[in-house]
Structure 1
Amino acid sequence: MGKKGTPHRKWSKEEKLYYIHLHLDEHLSVMEIERRHGVRNSLVSAWVKRYLEEGEDALEPKNGNPYAALHTSKTLSEVDRLRLIIAKQEVEIARLKKGYWVEGVGAKKEYVTGSGKNTKSSKN
């Protein structure tokens, strides 16, 4: 694990492929790759496993929430629109299972529990 306050290292697909080929083609152990290049052996092992099971496409970086920008997009396909609706409903169901609902909007948003107690939004 990295030090507190340091940014999370992101690896490109090309960098991942480089270390995978060092391991598979040049027969370097993952421990040797860690010693020479400073890349954790567990990370290289995970990349190799994913590469062997799913191919090169599995190494593409997956950044952020895939649904985050969908609600602002005006050119959603029907499938993407339905996926967004399902994702919103799953969040709503999980929240209701915990026993609270939302009253108000924006800065006036409050979470109300079944006992009638109000709590301010944690985002404020």
Structure 2
Amino acid sequence: MERIYEPEGWCILKVEPPGQPHFYQVFGSWVGGFADPDKWRLSSGADDLDSTFMEGDICVFPQSSGSIYHLALIAHKQHNFYAQGVLNHLIEQQTDSALGARVSIIDLETQDGRIKVPFKEVES
């Protein structure tokens, strides 16, 4: 059964484990309310960005686990303070771990101020 996630804020992480192919993960965040805490989720990942496509105003990004992320382009890199702190900690923790995977937030190609779909990584 596929699960669909619709984060209120999101970014794409590139994970580069030593001696293995890189892959991409979605870091998604949701703002809580009075009785509901803020939340975040890291997707299982995808081997490339080519599987992204538009469905109306939403970018659809299937993951290797079968889950699907519906990403509003306007929500790209729109994390609150809590989620940004978690994201920074995750990146730092992965980089400092014994596995030594390099994790980075990637920039996506744009055209006329809009993110291009399918996603393409901007090489730095």
Same fold? TM cut 0.5: no
Which structure shows the higher strand fraction?
2
Structure 1 or 2: more helix by fraction: 1
> Between Structure 1 and Structure 2, whose CA radius of gyration is higher?
1
Higher relative contact order (CA 8 A, sep 6+): 2
State the TM-score, normalized to the length of structure 1: 0.21
